[in-house]
Amino acid sequence: MAETKFQGNPIHTIGQLPEVGSVIPAFTLVGSDLSDVTSDSLKGTRLILNIFPSLDTGTCATSVRVFNKKAAEVPDATVLCISDDLPFAQARFCGAEGIDNVTTASGFRSSFGNDFGVTMTDGPLRGLLARSVVVVDGSGTVLYTQLVSEIAKEPDYEAALAAAKKA
């Protein structure tokens, strides 16, 4: 179990993020067209997993906008924005915002949050994914992780991008 905060109050997650140097757990998420987005289908690609509670919050929406803008800095990487929002809501948000440099994926019917240790187990957002970032190389090895210390704060974009560029 790891700890973050929500509005200054301690919030716990179901586990720990995968360790740097380990291989990420296999996952299957749901894409905006309801197709599977799997770790196997993304093998060979550097990944920046931008994980967050919901696009319906300002900080989450900002993280998608910023990663969309900065994705061009790492041309061989895929930025995968992951929440438990329904794929329809993710697609609607990206369409309205003109976001097309990142891929959205929903964990609403998967064990992703538990497998990556990011499902919040207490507090008002329990059951949703804690704000975090995981960067992996093309073989699925973890290069960088961050569990953001306060859910309402943005992730360290520059550290995530630097890790992806080194891959």
pLDDT for 71 equals 86
How many of the other CB atoms lie within 10 Å of CB of 59?
17
pLDDT of 104 reads 96
pTM exceeds cut of 0.75 = yes
Instruction: Look at residue 165 in the predicted model and tell me its pLDDT.
Output: 92
DSSP string, 7-33: TTEEEEBSS-PPPTTSBPPP-EEEETT
pLDDT score for 80: 97
Retrieve residue 39's tokens: 């770790």
pLDDT value for 138? 94
CATH tag, 2-165: 3.40.30.10
- Residues lower than pLDDT 50 in the chain: none
Q: Residue 111 has what pLDDT?
A: 97
| Closest listed residue to residue 100, CA positions, set 81, 76, 128, 86 | 81
pLDDT at 73: 87
Determine the pLDDT at residue 77. 92
pLDDT attached to residue 147: 98
Total count of residues recorded for the chain: 167
pLDDT for the residue 145: 98
Residue 81 designated active-site: no
pLDDT at position 72, please? 81
Predicted local distance difference test score (pLDDT) of residue 115: 98
- Catalytic one among 24, 42, 55, 60? 60
